[in-house]
Chains A and B, each alone.
Chain A
Amino acid sequence: MELSINEIGNIKVINVKGRLDGNTSPKAQEELIPLLQSGTKIIINMAECDYVSSAGLRLLLVIAKTLKSKGGKGVIAGLLAEVKEVMEMTGFDRMYENYSDTDDALKALNEE
């Protein structure tokens, strides 16, 4: 898995590429959690993430909870169908607003 982060205005776009699983999630967590400060806005771009395991879902949840505790906001963009389905089956689909791509997500976050 590879992570890349770019900033558009005051919004951080986190691009996740590859598998988010027990192997890769701890490292991703180490990298991402420090970025989440008071009022941070993020888009997690999942368009190139083809698998999310239990550990990966938990990382997404931990990010959502951390943002909430710091008054920030996070949305997800570009979920692949299979990943989206797993999130629905396991009830993890309610933790983020979900947009078809980063442009849509940016628009939504900027309108707030």
Chain B
Amino acid sequence: MIQVDSFPTHTFGEFKLRPGKPLPFGATIVPNGVNFSVFSRAAYSCELVLFRKREKEPFAIIPFFDEFRIGNVFTMVVFDLDYEDIEYGFRMDGPWIPNEGHRFDKTKILMDPYAKLIGGRDVWGEDPDWFDMYQHRARIVFDDFDWEGDRPLEIPMEDLIIYELHVRGFTRHSSSNTKHPGTFSALKEKIPYLNVLGINCVELMPIHEFDEFENSREINGRKLLNYWGYSNLGFFAPKAGYAASGKFGMQVDEFKSLIKEFHRHGIEVILDVVFNHTAEGNEMGPYISYRGLDNKTYYMLSPDGYYMNFSGCGNTLNCNNPIVRNMILDCLRYWASEFHIDGFRFDLAAILGRDQNGAPMSNPPLIESLAYDPILGKCKLIAEAWDAGGLYQVGSFPGGSRWAEWNGKYRDDIRRFIKGDEKMLGVVQQRIEGSPDLYKWHGGGTCASVNFITCHDGFVLMDLVSYDHKHNEANGEDNRDGGDDNHSWNCGWEGETENYWINRLRVKQIKNALSILLVSQGVPMILSGDEFGNSQFGNNNAYCQDNEISWLDWSLLEKNQYLHNFVKLLIKFRFKHPVLRNNTHFQHRDYVGSGYPDISWHGTQAWNVDYSDWSRTIAFLLCGKHAKNGMVEDDYIYVAMNLHWEMHGFQIPSLPAGMSWYIFSNTDVEPPFDICEPGYEPILENQNEILVGPRSVTILVGR
């Protein structure tokens, strides 16, 4: 049946129009036309500017008539547009009173903050026309997609193994052997590799449209770009330059197709979202969208109208303003419902808890809204619980049990332990148990803690064991950028070496790190490439290095195939043993009548930990009968960690009668005898004691 509102009521020149619907915001395809809707509280008037795709001059500028404004929303339907071939923007007229926060400029063409497709940087790294008056162009998208029955996987949080990767860096290197390197399409080609490795969740560094040319510069003949992309242009649009089909404007379909394929292979997709600032920078920055639409609404401003900078990037998104809060909610709902995204990791999430003056709130409305949102109800929500303004909330992020956190303390403490620091045993116990010291009262159990030793920020794992200090000269800031608190140790030589013993120790330290990570309670996260010893040559802040420094070198997969095999089997081991994946914290007692507490700690003597400052040996025993709160029966697992530089004998706790110890892994042994196929472990000859080599980790299974 033809609807009454599919007929125009007004004309402007050759264009037929009618009053639009204020919701949803953005551009929506409706019968016979497109509904445009944009918010501004302080604008006097608004115009719709229409371009044919990639043309420099607009073909139409259509004012929103007074009767097209509802409240603070300008909305109209324009009929008979070839919506696949147009780009649109807005021009807003309003006050220019910077010290009151208003920065309207009616000459600027502004991108729709709800744009779901953004043109202008269609092919990665291709120089744009810098004189173009409208750089980042909103386009209209087809929302429909043939999902073939796909839906988010809803894997229980405690069963996840997260794998963090950069879409471009993962396959851009010539060694990646993909058809369209550096794209969503190439990532799809790598799904079988991820299946073999065994991870079940990828966390994608920002895939929203950003400008790789933002702050680009040339250092020693090398072009540095905004490669990581922690600087959004639009929150609703996938990055065109990450799509092999971006030049045809088909990035939405390509990305959806990738997600469908991940899901078909049992892998969840988490997006790294950056709601703390935008690419518009400070007072000196460009007009892209928000600044010209309603500066005072979208940004945190000082009383005299300057941009507050809690993000370290020039401005701070005004997350707890109701308009911005709704935009963030709309955005996440869109990704969850239209793209089937399984979860989100919030960059510098502490900012999400600041009020409109920048002060931290005890019960921030945005964080609460996200936790209780019906559409996001099964999405994983993970906070990077700090910001650049000095707010550090690991263990105290105000989100309640729905929120997990990147556990920065896990990273630091385990790094120090592996490196051989003193006085680490007490905190290491906490970290391995899922950090009950931080999360016991949080309500989310062990799943509150996303455990990681490396992530995109800081050293990759091979560099953590190859460099004492960062080497960021290539970033062109005299090595001042990047963190200095790396807790790294080069094993005897700074950087690459031919020395067999040093290289052997490095690989062993990597295996130690990943062994501990994968037997810790909580959610492990692995940085892509660490499983085959990828290096960034000592650069611990490769945000601008779109080159071999940060691209994964797949030739190392063959060179370090034994390391890869070790990680693959560790992952398999974790999946085989539910006792490693409890979702509640240990009680340190026997509540099932097995005669063993759920977890017990040991030293070189069974049942007796040496907590001396200089002690670097510790072991733990997990009672299989306590797996998943005693609901599931598993094997017993004993992990002996000797991070001392001498070999130590560990007395092993005895097992219930009829059971024996089998040896799963020993990082001190040369491959292929360093690890076994889970379930096929050989029996341990001496059931009472094992020798654990210098700086080594051994894992036993009791059954």
Contact = CB atoms under 8 A, between A and B. Distances in A.
A61 B85 contact: no
Interface stretch (A49-57, A71-79, A102-110): A49-57
Nearest to A56: B84
B84 A89 contact: no
A86 B257 CA distance: 12
B249 A54 contact: yes
A15 to B, nearest CB: 23
B142 A54 contact: yes
A91 interface: yes
A36 B261 CA distance: 30
Contacts, number: 55
Nearest to A95: B146
Contacts of A58: 142, 144
Contacts of A90: 245, 250, 253-254, 257
Contacts of B183: 89
A89 B180 CA distance: 9
B245 A89 contact: yes
B253 A91 contact: yes
Contacts of A95: 146
Interface residues of A, number: 17
Contacts of A96: none
B540 interface: no
Contact of B253 (A21, A23, A92): A92
Contact of A89 (B142, B250, B260): B250
B254 A89 contact: yes
Given A61-B146, A90-B254, A91-B254, A23 B82 contact: yes
Contacts of B83: 22
Contacts of B254: 89-91
Contact of B84 (A22, A61, A92): A22
B171 to A, nearest CB: 14
A58 B142 CA distance: 9
Given A58-B142, A86-B248, A91 B84 contact: no
Contacts of A86: 245, 248, 250
Interface string B165-182: 000000000000000100
Contacts of B249: 53-54
Contact of A54 (B185, B253, B261): B253
B506 to A, nearest CB: 39
Contacts of A88: 185
Nearest to B144: A58
Given A57-B253, A61-B146, A91 B260 contact: yes
Contacts of B185: 88-89
A92 B184 CA distance: 15
Contacts of B245: 86, 89-90
Chain A CB within 10 A, most for which of B85, B183, B249: B85
A89 B260 CA distance: 13
B250 A54 contact: yes
Interface string B242-253: 011100111001
Interface in B122-165: 142, 144, 146
B82 A22 contact: yes
Given A86-B250, A91-B254, A55 B84 contact: yes
Contacts of A91: 253-254, 256-258, 260-261
Contacts of A57: 253
Interface in B41-88: 82-85
Interface in A36-88: 53-55, 57-58, 61, 65, 86, 88
A95 B145 CA distance: 12
A61 B497 CA distance: 56
A102 B253 CA distance: 28
Given A54-B253, A89-B243, A23 B85 contact: yes
B131 to A, nearest CB: 28
Interface string A1-32: 00000000000000000000111000000000
A86 B248 CA distance: 9
A112 B142 CA distance: 35
Given A21-B84, A22-B83, A22-B84, A53 B253 contact: no
A22 B142 CA distance: 11
Nearest to B186: A89
A53 B180 contact: no
A90 B142 CA distance: 13
A89 B82 contact: no
Contacts of B142: 54-55, 58
A41 to B, nearest CB: 22
Nearest to B249: A54
Contacts of B248: 53-54, 86
Nearest to B145: A91
Nearest to A26: B82
B239 to A, nearest CB: 15
A55 B248 CA distance: 12
Nearest to B259: A91
A92 B261 CA distance: 12
Nearest to A82: B248
A54 B146 contact: no
B580 to A, nearest CB: 35
Report the 9 A-B pairs with minimum CB-CB distance, sorted nearest first: A91-B257, A22-B84, A90-B253, A89-B245, A89-B185, A89-B244, A90-B254, A90-B250, A89-B254
8 contacts: A22-B83, A22-B84, A22-B85, A23-B82, A23-B85, A57-B253, A91-B253, A91-B256
